[in-house]
Amino acid sequence: MKLFRHGASGAERPGIVDASGALRDLSGVIAEIDATVLSDAGLARLAALDAATLPLVPAGTRIGAPVPRPVNFICIGLNYADHAAESGLKVPEEPIIFLKAGSAYSGPNDDIVIPPGSKETDWEVELGVIIGTGGSHIAEDAALDHVAGYCVVNDVSEREYQIRRGGTWDKGKGCPSFGPTGPFLVTRDEVPDPQALDLWCEVDGKRMQNGNTRTMIFGVKTLVSYVSRFIRLEPGDIIATGTPPGVGMGIKPEPVFLRPGQTVRLGIAGLGEQTQKTTGG
């Protein structure tokens, strides 16, 4: 099952994809894709619907992020060994956790706004894990039971802010528009193995990233369990699980970064695609 949200920013309504791939409006059935809906029982109720009987979403309607702004937008750093190598950093012994500001959270096709004066805004395609059932100190063998579904995340990053502006990654990760998410929440029953997903990113039509989640250092169930030791996970929380190689910072001999007027396109097999225009600067 694929769920999504549609409409103007701040006024999104819930939606569901029917068996033919058409986008249907769910607002006559549920008010929001909230904790009740993200529970196993809530998702089962939606799965029992005949989605084809629901109103169509008009063509051209904006697609928003697939869940409301999460309590915790959690990211994992250096979770692909080959990305750590291109960054010139050693493979971490434990997952690196940082938080992305809630105000960075945006729709999958919304513009990326390059901050004023930024020269090092970068792209990062990532598998997002959307929590359905919250908790703390979740056992690893039960971790996937706490997952409602999966999505695409672009962990947009300003490298100067991240690396050379005082030693905290959050500065380079939380600018407005730096968290495009979606288009869909794809329920976990449609993703039997989250460690077997191809993911990619293009800039102006040039393929920059090609990867597969099987090369993660720490897999999804490990991450859900590990993060829950330090942060109580809530329904709708998102864990962005790291990026494969091919980011702009790692290009040799000279890094390449985003500038206004470009197009970023990215996706994950079975989870959908995003397309963003870059503005600002």
For the chain, the structural domain boundaries read 1-62, 65-280
Secondary structure (3-state) at 16? strand
pLDDT tier, 169 (very low <50, low <70, confident <90, very high otherwise): confident
pLDDT, residue 262, reads 98
Quick one: CATH architecture of 65-280?
Alpha-Beta Complex (3.90)
* Six-digit token string for 239: 């864990």
pLDDT, residue 166, reads 81
CB-side neighbour CA atoms (13 Å) of 222: 13
One-letter amino acid for residue 39 of the chain: S
Report the share of the chain in percent with pLDDT over 70.
Answer: 100
Pick the closest to residue 57 from 29, 17, 30 (CA basis). 17
Secondary structure (3-state) at 153? strand
H or E element that contains 47: helix 40-47
pLDDT tier, 219 (very low <50, low <70, confident <90, very high otherwise): very high
Q: Which residue has the tokens 């288009």?
A: 183
CB-count burial class (<10 Å; 0-12, 13-18, 19+) for 144: middle
